[in-house]
Structure 1
Amino acid sequence: MASKTWNVGVVGYGFSAKTFHLPFLREVPQLKLYAVVQRTPKPEDDAEKDHPGIKSYRTSEEMVKDEGVDVVIITTAPDSHYELAKLALENGKHVVCEKPFVPTSKEANGLVALAQKQNKLLAVYQNRRWDADFVTLSKLVKNGSLGRIAEFETHFDRHRPEEPAADVSKWKNKVIPGGSAIYDLGSHLLDQVVHLFGLPNRVTGFIGSQREVNTSGFEDSFTVLFHYNKGPLVTAKAAVVSPEEEQLRFWVRGDKGSFKKFHLDVQEEQLKSGIKPGDSVYGREPSERYGFLTTIQNGQPVREVTPTVEPPTWTEYYRKLARALAGEGDLPASGAEARDVIRLIELAQESSKQGKTIDV
């Protein structure tokens, strides 16, 4: 019997939708792009022209009334996520929400409860669980190559010390609910940590700006420590003052070995350059970017290059979503899991304001 095809409606037709969602939808036969909400199409930017045969709506309220829509993907700014997800769930749609999920854990709790009441799936787009470097590191942690993990560092550092120019079309440098580096980049880093180690026992946060000129008050940087009673000390960090030739991504130390990795996962870079998920080179990291595994041999540290695994790529997110819709597996990243990450962000903010460590 042929598997069911799920009609997908996408809210928003900007960079997120075009770069991080639509290319991967096309790779999964069970998911069909059915409709797009685009408020103001232009001759050179029109979803209906780019994707002949889809339905084009001007408002989300119109689209969720369409009985043909099974799943709604929300790709707008985070301060709109709660209302749009609530609208879609109330109208009987499954929901995929871009990260950061919502600005507050209270809102997240409300959406998780509503999804349960409506008997609908609520997922959040934590696609970086399928970064090739993170998949490689997870394998080393789980197979015991590093032994008992004592310290785990995860970085998203860049050298951008100048205040970015104001751009009303971009939320990532604006002071809005659910904005700032801790929500934007932190939601990825913290999700990866919790996915690997579970919830920490305590949180210490340092959140603010590293830029000398910061007229908007945008919090562009953070350092968050996760303390585990029976586990590692985790440092999750994003900086905008980091003049390095190669930016550190992971440094993980255990009693049997350590793993050090530079450079970000290649998928976003490739997508921006026009490489597609179905291309043979997509997601495959060049050898000069491989990480280093150091182990103790005959009492001495020995460093070896560790090839990055052949990645499942971010397409795996939507493969898992299709299976979950068919009742054949768990969500790739659930609303409840994303709710926990938002709560940890709130605790890091509280810790930073109070200048003390907070119990989870």
Structure 2
Amino acid sequence: MSDTTNQDRAPRKVVVRCLDPLLRDALASWVQALPGHVVAGAVTSGPELLRLCTLRSPDLAVVELSSAGTEELGLLASLHRCCPRVHVIGVHHTPDAPQLLRLHRAGADRLVSSQYGLPPLRAALLEAGTELPSRSAGGGLSGRELEILALICAGCPVVEIADVLGISPHTVTNHKRRIFAKLEVHSRTEAAAEVGRLGLAWRRGTGPAAEGLFGGPPGALHDEVSRILSAQGMATRPPVTILVEPTESCWQAAERQAAPIIVIDPAFHGGQAAAGALLRGASATLTGEHLAERLLPTIVLTAAGYLVTTDGPVRALLPENQPAAPTMLTPRERDVLDSIGRGHSVRQTAQELGITIKTVQSIQRQLFSKLRVHNRPAALELARRLGLVSPPGDT
């Protein structure tokens, strides 16, 4: 968008939040000098920003984001609650794709990296649309495509986008190709400019994903969870992390967040899979049935610190369903078990203990029988659960 176009319309009110007072004043002066913009206020703290937006109803907010922690995510959500029409340009200092996705989902319409200086911020301000033309009402873009578009515009490579969304790089590439075709652009730079021109943004209730919501490939269950969250006013940032038929990368992303984890998976009908999710750190397990009635109470209870699941997984974790710690392991059996815990092979165990390989194998058979397992990895896993050997890294 040209400077002349900005001059032909009423100046847009901009508020600035910069953590350093000196840089705050310098940034406010710089924005004030841009054609078509007037600074309505500049602050350093989150509460001051919310107060300023309530009083001045700005068109644009330039917000320095120190991280993707709970405080910053809460600030973005509160900002859109007090000023729903504000266009937020988040200035971030991280190249980490999971953090950028959380910031985008929490309400940052455009993410600009501080490492590239002022030109990208200037472009973001001048390109930010004041209206959403009919083409931007989805623009044919799905919620997943809007998320990928936000990460593309933030400069994230395909591999990182795939990892944080729990999909393959090939799938991301296909989404990217479709996005560019729908926007009629050919590069990331052109896509970013089109995003600014159209005012495209992931907004409350417009995408299939929500802050804290992770899952595998999009599907009916994922969409149903998003619909329920939107209906309950939690589409921007629910107080928990929700995993829908999660992949391993989704679990890893969830474990980096300090929030209770709710896992929704039809595989939990058997009980053992749900028990495994609880052992990994889930605060609640749901099978996907009757979600409209069960999801909201589960969110409330887990956010309050309760464990929510059916009786099957709990019974699977009760002591009577777990093998008791063997009390009659011989000293030599414990020596072999300790050697297994250190990752030694049968040959290495024999050399360390000064016995033959056949003797080690015989002792192992006795050990496996007492532990009720069939191989060394299973013996090691059970021994760690029972406290017979130390976890990796412990001394």
* TM-score, shorter chain, exceeding 0.5: no
Which protein shows a greater Rg? 2
Q: More strand per residue: 1 or 2?
A: 1
| TM-score w.r.t. length of structure 1 | 0.30
